[in-house]
Amino acid sequence: MAVKLEKAAVRELIARRAEREIESGYYVNLGIGMPTMVANYIQPHKQVVLQSENGLIGIGRSPYEDEVDPDLINAGKETVTASTGASYCDSAESFGMIRGAHLDLAILGGMEVSAAGDLANWMIPGKMIKGMGGAMDIVHGARKIVIIMDHVNKHGEPKILKECRLPLTGKGVVNRIITDRAVLDVTEKGLVLVEVVEGWTVDEIIASTEAEIIVSPELEELSL
């Protein structure tokens, strides 16, 4: 029987696991939504620079109530803090950094990911959106792309598919997928299951994933 966590606890689990993808010295872009939570869990010994498309180079953790500055926001319009040594630039220069392949890692949300590493995360047909944002530039500019998301949608349907059905953000751009149930790598041989979240079984992961899965011989359990 799978352990059932409150939504907030699930999001924290995913964010904490995603933090392990960040190495000291990295320049990192965190996508809007759940990825922004990762900033709160970066270990103090890691020297990391978080970059935002709207021109803040050196994002810190989320602000406490008495620290909120309405003029200091990330690309998702969420209030943030600035780390020591942070700098500011216009969005054109920020995108120059992205397009120039100066980002070591991007951690983004996803609506769908395919077995080939295709990503759909910028729109749902028929729904009002403000624009595609910077995701299309980021997935082609960052050296590594990690997607964090729920394993299934609100209807219980798989989000990791043989082929994406929603409009694509990028083809073959995803390197790793971290969900509330598993961690999977996108490889030339296919999707490889490398970690299973405690409380879930391999059979349950396979049943809730449309794409075919290769189980790693070095499969690990991700503890809660």
The string of DSSP codes covering 26-42 is -EEEE-SSGGGGGGGG-
Catalytic residue among 6, 12, 19, 53: 53
Q: What is the C-alpha to C-alpha distance for residues 40 and 149, in angstroms, rounded to an integer? A: 17
Distances (CA, A) of 181 to 11, 21, 147, 152, 219: 11, 17, 13, 9, 13
CB of 146 closer than 8 Å to CB of 18:
yes
Active site residue 195: no
For residues 191-204, one letter each, b for 16 or more C-beta atoms within 10 angstroms of the residue's C-beta and e for the rest, the string is bbbbbbbebbeeeb
Catalytic residues: 53
